[in-house]
Amino acid sequence: MDFTFEEQQVAFRDAVRKFLMVEAAPEMLREIWETESGRSKDLRAKLADQGITALSVPEEFGGIGLGDLDWVLINQELGYYAIPDSLSDTAYLAAWLLTRLPSDVALKKAWLPRIANGTARIAIGHPVNPFVSDAQLADLLLLWHDDEVHAVQRDQVKLSFNPSIEMSRRLYQVKWTPSDATRVAPARIGRELWEGVLNRAALAVSAQQLGLAQRMLDLGIDHSAQRKQFGKPIGSFQAVKHQLADVAVKIEFAKPVVFRAAHCLANNRPRAAVHVSHAKLAACEAAWASARRSMQVHGAMGYTWEADLQMFMKRAWALDAAWGDRAFHKTRVAQFIFAEGTALGPGETFN
């Protein structure tokens, strides 16, 4: 039993954190908002230089071959710095899906090396999400159709843009026609693959929400230490302290839930899907609580465009329903705990 990360994993996380601290300052994110694509080629290239795009591409295709636990650490950082890029859709989800396609599919050879070296963007369309993120920039779209997996070029789809309150999100309605030519896996294989994608995507969102929750808490702490009223920093008042302490509690108890989910997913444990849904619920609750409390601590400043809080807060709000809303994930947990014969109670924690 060892519920800690390996030193190597933490070292990689720390390196990414240092890099993002410099390269993804809030002013820079605002500049990227103003561009039409909402994405920065430069930032993407730098992220690839850090090795993030190669993280879960197998070594035979030019990657590093790491997995779900490594991504949980990296996704926390991507959340903390609100990186305006659907990086993990390509480098985590699409890489995972492509790797598991039947071995004769030429797609693997064509795309996995490009994911690893950071030159490909792949968008993913799954029915749990009404829209596809970053479809406009995608070199390839991996789309669900009746549990089949289809690989579709961008010129084969019709896109309509749906602006989100979160300026970094680029959401598209995708219209396309499935055909034998686009099908890369039949439903009998695809069903399990899509389940795997969904679980990893929900896990990725959970980890990002943890990062966002921490960032909004940190912003609240900074503000309450600097802002003075009645001649004192407002952070010295108990009413303010307790708001932020409650957020710290929620984050502290969401983290190990997310880490368990990652471990169980990586090791194909029978309860992995339930643990992922639990993780998503816990992390989203922490993130929303952090948004609300940090906003309250910021006072009227928190309601402005100027305050940086907005970019993290809006991301946290938007991600709440990404890859399954709360109803979806609660249903998965409920179906498990209320099913006849489910073993609950002490000693069942790590199944």
Partner 1 sequence: MRLEYTERQQRFRKEVRAWLEQNVPKQPLRSFDTEEGFAEHRAWEGKLAGGHWSAVTWPKEVGGRGCDLIEWLIFEEEYWRASAPLRVNQNGIFLLAPTLMEYGTEEQKQRFLPRMATGEDIWAQGWSEPGAGSDMAAIRCKAVRDGDHYVISGQKTWSTRAVWADWLFGLFRTDPNSVRHHGLTFILLPLNLPGITIRPVQQLNGETGFAEIFFDEVRVPVSNRLADEGAGWQVAMATAGFERGLMLRSPGRFQQTAKALVDLYLRHQARIDADPSIRDAVLQSWMGAEAYALATYRTACRLAKGGQIGAEASTNKIFWSELDLLMHETAMRILGARAELMPHAPDAGDIGRWLDGFLFAQAGPIYAGTNEIQRNIIAERMLGLPRS
Binding site for partner 1 (CB under 8 A): 1-6, 69, 217, 221, 224-225, 232-233, 235-238, 240-242, 244-246, 248-249, 252-257, 259-260, 263-264, 278, 281-282, 330, 333-334, 337-338, 344-350
**For residue 340, what are its two tokens?**
């006849």
For partner 1, the closer of residues 161 and 350 by Cβ is: 350
For partner 1, the closer of residues 4 and 103 by Cβ is: 4
**Smallest distance from the beta carbon of 302 to partner 1, in angstroms?**
17
Residue type, 200: R
Other Cβ atoms less than 10 A from the Cβ of 216: the count is 33
For partner 1, the closer of residues 253 and 303 by Cβ is: 253
Degrees to nearest 5, angle at CA 325 with 347 and 144: 105
**Smallest distance from the beta carbon of 233 to partner 1, in angstroms?**
5
**Smallest distance from the beta carbon of 23 to partner 1, in angstroms?**
26
**For residue 101, what are its two tokens?**
């396609």
For partner 1, the closer of residues 53 and 224 by Cβ is: 224
**For residue 250, what are its two tokens?**
């929620």
**Smallest distance from the beta carbon of 329 to partner 1, in angstroms?**
10
Specify whether the CB–CB gap between 285 and 250 falls below 8 A: yes
Minimal CA–CA distance to 167: which of 332, 324, 305, 4? 305
Owner of token pair 């686009």: 182
**Smallest distance from the beta carbon of 300 to partner 1, in angstroms?**
21
**Smallest distance from the beta carbon of 298 to partner 1, in angstroms?**
15
d(CA 193, CA 342): 25
For partner 1, the closer of residues 149 and 257 by Cβ is: 257
d(CA 272, CA 193): 14
For partner 1, the closer of residues 39 and 293 by Cβ is: 293
d(CA 81, CA 84): 9
Overall residue count recorded for the chain in this entry: 351
